[in-house]
Chain A
């Protein structure tokens, strides 16, 4: 079995091109997962445009993509109208909802292509763009077990897990973990204490080879951004440790963070993991980086 994960967009909130963000990248969220021949796409930020072009370069047509969206804030859907395979007749894009009969992401994607916003109507796309859903408790798609979890965001948002033959990858972005800590009072008094993430998140991420998590803010930034919908990156470390995750990719970098600033944020996460005795390997998700999940 071949299982690859590639980061096409790792920036939160708004595309942030420029010389200060070249390393981690300026495109908004998009993650590609390839499990053997099946293609799964998480989020359609501006990174999705790049993925679309790359799919054409690979020359494997028609494109069949199983697409999952954390939520429909702009930074997670703005790449969709520029996803070239959507314009190709043979392509097939399946847009998943998270519960039986849920077609909301399919509807929201078409909404952003109404004529006031975009010149090509959703119905005029060449590809077959069809809604489907993950049912009550997840769905097996091309041999991969896919599940969703509701998260705390302005909305809410959804995290997804992809698992095959014991190899599991979780994508969990736009989730303000810090507002749901089970020992909130204790950790407010002592920031070095392990922050207890809600049990359902720990279970959802349990044993993942890779957890790709929203770590938008440094501890210092978070002080002024509480309730903005994103956590401290360091809190993701605690979740990863509690869930026995092997690798933690911090993503959804704040638009104000330069490459140096992101590096500092990751260093703080590594220091925390070490202090807490966790074995998790932490790194900053960066555009163009591709991992093989063994």
Chain B
């Protein structure tokens, strides 16, 4: 994702516009073409600027489950420690267990040398890019990653 995608949402300026209207409305042409080279995706996918909903982690198992953590910041840390952005009160979770950071339209995770590791769909990984529906296990905490919408 380039800076074009990150620019302010137009939802604050009035009701969301329909797709038809956007395409045919010449006043939006500049914004439209400006976004083109920043599209990270490839064939047949054209991102439209729309209301943007951040990605989130849905906690299915673990202390406090079920609950949802919105990934609102560019970078967040999951861990047992008080300074963690997403705090999981479990002895099976390290103080700073995993970093999750925005990367383009997706998120990247990295194991911060935790004791019990990070399992992505059951496989212990050091780092990875996330996709919709991925399951993450950190000790006894189980999350499902959901991509945001834009």
- Which chain A residues have a beta carbon within 8 Å of chain B's beta carbons? 4, 6, 17-19, 22-23, 26, 247, 281, 283, 286-292
Contacts and interface: CB of A to CB of B under 8 A. Distances in A.
A100 to B, nearest CB: 36
Nearest to B105: A22
- Return the 7 tightest CB-CB contacts between A and B, nearest first: A288-B129, A17-B42, A292-B126, A290-B127, A18-B43, A290-B126, A23-B131
Interface stretch (B1-9, B26-34, B117-125): B117-125
Contacts of A291: 123-126
A99 to B, nearest CB: 34
Given A17-B43, A289-B120, A22 B126 contact: no
B44 A19 contact: yes
Interface of B: 41-45, 108, 111, 120-129, 131
Contacts of B44: 18-19
18 contacts: A4-B126, A18-B43, A18-B44, A19-B42, A19-B43, A23-B131, A26-B42, A283-B123, A286-B128, A288-B129, A289-B125, A290-B125, A290-B127, A290-B128, A291-B123, A291-B124, A292-B111, A292-B124
Contacts of B124: 291-292
A289 B128 contact: yes
A52 to B, nearest CB: 18
Nearest to B132: A23
B103 to A, nearest CB: 9
B124 to A, nearest CB: 7
Contacts, number: 44
A185 to B, nearest CB: 36
Contacts of B42: 17-19, 26
Given A19-B43, A288-B127, 4 more contacts: A19-B41, A19-B44, A26-B42, A283-B121
Nearest to A19: B45
Contacts of B43: 17-19
Nearest to B41: A19
A101 to B, nearest CB: 37
A160 to B, nearest CB: 21
Nearest to A293: B126
A280 to B, nearest CB: 12
A63 B55 CA distance: 35
A7 to B, nearest CB: 9
A4 B113 CA distance: 13
B48 to A, nearest CB: 15
Contacts of B108: 288
Q: Which of A17, A281, A291 has the most CB of B within 10 A?
A: A291
A291 B119 CA distance: 11
